[in-house]
Structure 1
Amino acid sequence: MRKIKSLVCLFLAFSFCFPVFSQTGRIPVRAENGMVATSHYLASEVGKDILAKGGNAIDASVATAFALAVTLPSAGNIGGGGFLLYHGGDGDKTAFNFREKAPMAATRDMFLGPDGKIKDNSNHEGLLSVGVPGTVAGLYKAHQKMGSLAWADLLQPAIELAENGFESTYRMNGFLNWIKEHKDEDLYAATAEAFLKNGEDIYKPGENFKQPDLAKTLKRIQKNGADGFYKGKTAKLMADFMKEHGGLITEEDLAKYEAEEVKPITGTYRGYEIIAMPPPSSGGVAVIEMLNILEGFNLEKYGANSATSLHLLTEAMRRAFSDRALHLGDPNFNPEMPLEKLTSKEYAKDLTESIQLKTASVSDSANFNKVHLQYESPQTTHISIVDKDRNSVSLTYTLEHSYGSKIVVEGAGFLLNNEMGDFNPIPGYTDTNGLIGTNPNLVAPGKRMLSSMSPTIVSRNGKPLLVIGSPGGRAIINIVLQVIVNTLDYKMNIAEAIESPRIHHQWLPDRTRFEDWGFSPDIKKIYEEMGHEIYEGGSSGRAMGIYIDWENHIIYGAADSRSYDGRAVGY
């Protein structure tokens, strides 16, 4: 026993002398100089190394995102798109929109057959489902505006990971098995070549997985910036592949793509400022609207995950998701969206007064023929970063489905997205299976599809405090909401706030998804007695968060344990 105590004391002594690089359960990582939280430990290490070399949060986010494009092919990408939100330690705020766009040849009814129905699931499968990628343009634009290290240096870690390889993990097995089954299909031949050993066999967990074609593509981006992707050889490879296999994206589509620097959307909650993405992200508007509603209730009094608290969260979700579906889309095509109204305290007060404390509302079935929410994939990934000056980045990007369209561009080594499935596929038509046909999010040439990605930063007195985001499809919005409420109302540390069990309600269908662990039968019974319908599901999202303790000069990071390879790393 004495020997064991001595070993424990020795371990504790070393813990205070050296950085802690991984979290344990609900204990966050502590650091003084910088923190990176992602869904793959190798990418987190890349970001931390960039910070340690003197790079800022933008530099680290660029390097980390490109590293995830190698190590997390299910969601990390150069063939997709997303949003980057920035809050400087000095109070400066900005955001970058690099959501994908519809090709110029896209039409409102491009997914429909002669019978007016979706043909062959073409909005989710095949090359018609692919939007013009935005990731490279967005990362390059952010770096050109705010980066401090050389662009080429930020690409080098990803290139080395692609060239030298890394250990395959269990997480990839399902996809590898799928590709092996489809490797003889012409559309997926390049995917098999990129992801199977010798184009034939599955990599076993622990085997070294290399991506030489992806490394070559990354080198072109390293040398030529965004032009290394949107012009020249990579663009020609993509356009030629599209033409050969019936896709729409052309070299002109790629050359014309531009990311946008935009003004974040902001709100307040109990004295804190909420900084989030504007449309085509629906997350910022919805999160602020829900927090405005919840501000009218004393959540701390009711307690975390009590039936009453869950009821109030549900009612806020119900109302925000109704507004999301009816009003939001690409602002360049929907200039009159009522954003000021949806995020106002006055509007929230009216919504708050419509909530009964012990009785569930009923989602308005009169609007059911107008709108119903379609499926949105949970396969996205999020990066949270804070540097030594407390500059903070919240970055979410995606391929849409897990591994996107599952189609690799021949000779280029990267997966293409299937984001066109986030548009409303049948104009004016809605059914109980989840199709939606409202105007704000119909397909149009050059239009960006609506997204639920919700990178968010909470600040106090002009200083960033909480950096948060998650994958999770439409549930992303509610995951971010619950982490914020857990932190600010229930005083959980960042790891506890992320690990806490989650619910999800999206207006229609009128039922609440509970994670299938963490909620007691008694709580569920009381919740159902209020009039709510429950169904259970597996893990919801994989949140990555950072909390800044300004008073004690400490940064706390947490990677969601729902993420198989996730890790928060500080120094």
Structure 2
Amino acid sequence: MVASPERLAAEVGLEMLRRGGNAVDAAVATGFALAVTYPRAGNLGGGGFMLIHLAKEQRQVFIDYREMAPAAATRDMFLDANGEVDKQREYFSLQAAGVPGTVAGMLHALDKYGSLDRAEVLAPAIRLAQQGFPVSFALAHEIGQRADMLGRDPAARAVFFHPDGNPYGMGETWRQPDLAWTLQQIARDGRDGFYRGPVAQRFAAAMRAGDGIMTTQDLANYRVAERAPVRGTFHGFEVVSAPPPSSGGVHIIEMLNLLEGYDLQALGHNSAAYIHLLAEAMKRAYADRSEYLGDPDFVAVPVAQLTDKAYAAHLRKGIDPDKATPADTIGPGLPVPPEGSDTTQFTVADAAGNVVSNTYTLNFSFGNHKMVPGTGVLLNNEMADFAADPGSANAFGLIQGERNRIEGRKRPLSSMSPTLVLRDGKPWLATGSPGGSQIITTVLQVLLNTMVFDMNPATAAASPRVHHQWWPDTLLLERGISADTVELLRQRGQPVQPTRRTLGRTQTIMLEDGWLLGATDPRRPGGAVAAY
């Protein structure tokens, strides 16, 4: 089974399973196909995280293929003459692009844990790019939303627009010959087909022609890291999630630990009392995120302390069940001295019990809206996930500290949270979400919906969600939260803000009683679950 934000890519993953491939083969094929069919976030020019459950060995593997800062990156590179952050340069220049990790990460997973040949796994993506496919309603809408920005870059304009200047519309056949060429280099030469040779040279040429700092050496030096997942327990379930440089797993477990001290089921799903406790837990976790998280290859991250149930008990003492704690009275809470929007998720499970939860991204929808000429590859703007000015907010409003300052070859802090839940030692749920700063709280609520309220994955995904990230001091509420509940939250002092925007977009598979139950989040069009 494959749960994906786009139908054709889900079917590509299913094709690998039908051929006898395992969940990793299907995940890698899906990931490369999404680079063709889901350009807003599927990518070759970005990076992400893959969490794998290996059924035969009964263990989990976490693959970190997050982007890395070019070697020439410096702490103050996005500050102007007045010491202010130049947002245009941070978000939309060539300097905004980190060294991409997707190709290296996918190939690492395939080589080490897959079973099919690389050429076979990449063939469907190459076919989709060469022969084209009909533009869906969702894709036409996504291109239309970003048409102005995409149209400013000559290479992107040549791919997403007709010669007459109109973007590709629904039902039209969209072909990407340059991207097919890049995928062919990878299929033939593996990692070197992207990080060395003609593709790398085209990346470097684009950087030299503009204001970029990425070099062929940066590409050749990119490395994948395997890390120990973060682990926690919640009412008998074991939760396995993303470690730093993701902040997701640490703070999901921190919030679960904190909430484990309450009878959530008795409070009722999405009642005012329940949402109040969620908001209070979220504030404290995001305050900790602002201070303690960063790339573990550069800074010490106190994972054990943050995920300790005793620490959660300490935080719980500061929560009033009837009154909101103002954000400006909450700070990073460890009782020890500090130690020296757009993304995509897909989830795969195979008949042998192997499971993959993968989240990867370009950061913004369509990244920095620039394409490397002759490659069909959109560039990420992940350098914006560093603290350009430590202590100030990033594009998602998150306050970030010194541990996430810009340094060459460092990985920026992320919220991506591919997560597995084990019951009796076996995979029970796999999920994840896009959504920038809202990823962590989205995954948290899907876990609570299933573990506490016994929802199936479809109901767990569709239920209204809430979000608080400490700062700004605002509790976002999706549509579907009752007016009475909103008023009761206001009476508790919660700074509620109903929003028409959606929070996250999960892709979830539940493994229960020999059945696979898959659900694609209905919040955005175009998702699919493919199974046989």
Q: Same fold (TM over 0.5)?
A: yes
Match of 1:425 among 365, 368, 388: 388
Match of 1:277 among 236, 242, 257: 242
1: CA distance, partners of 2:67 / 2:30: 20
* Structure 1 residues 179 and 506, CA gap change in structure 2 (3 angstroms): closer
Equivalent residue, structure 2, for 1:525: 487
Other structure's SS at 1:86 match: strand
Match of 1:239 among 189, 192, 204: 204
- Structural mapping, 1:142-153, within 5 Å: 142-153=109-120
> C-alpha displacement at 1:488, in angstroms?
0.7
Counterpart contact for 1:180–1:201, Cα < 8 Å: no
* Structure 1 residues 462 and 59, CA gap change in structure 2 (3 angstroms): same
Counterpart contact for 1:180–1:200, Cα < 8 Å: no
> C-alpha displacement at 1:169, in angstroms?
2.4
2: CA distance, partners of 1:489 / 1:183: 44
Which deviations, in whole Å up to 9, do the C-alpha atoms of 1:416-447 show, x marking residues without a partner?
A: 00001111112455799947462111000000
Which deviations, in whole Å up to 9, do the C-alpha atoms of 1:436-472 show, x marking residues without a partner?
A: 4621110000000000000000001221100000111
Which deviations, in whole Å up to 9, do the C-alpha atoms of 1:515-564 show, x marking residues without a partner?
A: 1x211100111111111011122111110000001x3x111000011121
1: CA distance, partners of 2:94 / 2:395: 27
* Structure 1 residues 106 and 347, CA gap change in structure 2 (3 angstroms): same
Counterpart contact for 1:192–1:199, Cα < 8 Å: no
* Structure 1 residues 534 and 189, CA gap change in structure 2 (3 angstroms): same
* Structure 2 residue 310 is the aligned partner of structure 1 residue 346: yes
* Structure 1 residues 433 and 423, CA gap change in structure 2 (3 angstroms): closer
* Structure 1 residues 383 and 432, CA gap change in structure 2 (3 angstroms): closer
* Structure 2 residue 38 is the aligned partner of structure 1 residue 77: no
Equivalent residue, structure 2, for 1:414: 377
* Structure 2 residue 318 is the aligned partner of structure 1 residue 357: no
- Paired residue type of 2:247: S
> C-alpha displacement at 1:175, in angstroms?
5.3
Equivalent residue, structure 1, for 2:275: 310
Equivalent residue, structure 2, for 1:13: none
- Structural mapping, 1:143-542, within 5 Å: 143-173=110-140, 176-177=143-144, 181=148, 185=152, 188-198=153-163, 200-334=165-299, 336-365=300-329, 378-427=341-390, 434=397, 436=399, 438-515=401-478, 517-537=479-499, 538-542=501-505
Question: Which blocks of at least 5 consecutive residues in structure 1 are unaligned?
Answer: 1-34, 369-377
Supply the RMSD in Å over aligned alpha carbons. Answer: 1.8
1: CA distance, partners of 2:429 / 2:436: 21
- Paired residue type of 1:469: G
* Structure 1 residues 73 and 199, CA gap change in structure 2 (3 angstroms): farther
- Paired residue type of 1:40: E
> C-alpha displacement at 1:180, in angstroms?
5.5
* Structure 1 residues 297 and 183, CA gap change in structure 2 (3 angstroms): closer
* Structure 1 residues 184 and 47, CA gap change in structure 2 (3 angstroms): closer
- Paired residue type of 1:172: L
- Paired residue type of 1:527: L
Number of equivalent positions: 522
1: CA distance, partners of 2:315 / 2:449: 22
> C-alpha displacement at 1:353, in angstroms?
2.1
Other structure's SS at 1:466 match: strand
> C-alpha displacement at 1:315, in angstroms?
1.1
1: CA distance, partners of 2:6 / 2:393: 38
Q: Percent identity?
A: 45
Equivalent residue, structure 2, for 1:556: 517
Farther-moved stretch of structure 1 (301-310 vs 348-357): 348-357
Counterpart contact for 1:176–1:196, Cα < 8 Å: no
> C-alpha displacement at 1:381, in angstroms?
0.4
Equivalent residue, structure 2, for 1:58: 24
2: CA distance, partners of 1:482 / 1:366: 22
Equivalent residue, structure 1, for 2:337: none
- Paired residue type of 2:202: L
> C-alpha displacement at 1:172, in angstroms?
3.5
2: CA distance, partners of 1:431 / 1:395: 24
1: CA distance, partners of 2:95 / 2:52: 33
- Paired residue type of 2:496: I
Farther-moved stretch of structure 1 (213-222 vs 114-123): 114-123
1: CA distance, partners of 2:440 / 2:399: 19
Which deviations, in whole Å up to 9, do the C-alpha atoms of 1:1-27 show, x marking residues without a partner?
A: xxxxxxxxxxxxxxxxxxxxxxxxxxx
> C-alpha displacement at 1:197, in angstroms?
2.2
Other structure's SS at 1:337 match: coil
> C-alpha displacement at 1:198, in angstroms?
3.5
Which deviations, in whole Å up to 9, do the C-alpha atoms of 1:452-511 show, x marking residues without a partner?
A: 000000001221100000111111000000000000100111100000000000011111
- Paired residue type of 1:204: G
- Paired residue type of 1:209: W
Detail structure 1 runs of 4+ shifted over 6 Å in the superposition: 430-433
1: CA distance, partners of 2:504 / 2:396: 23
2: CA distance, partners of 1:204 / 1:430: 36
* Structure 1 residues 417 and 199, CA gap change in structure 2 (3 angstroms): farther
Match of 1:68 among 34, 37, 45: 34
Query: Rg bigger for which structure?
Result: 1
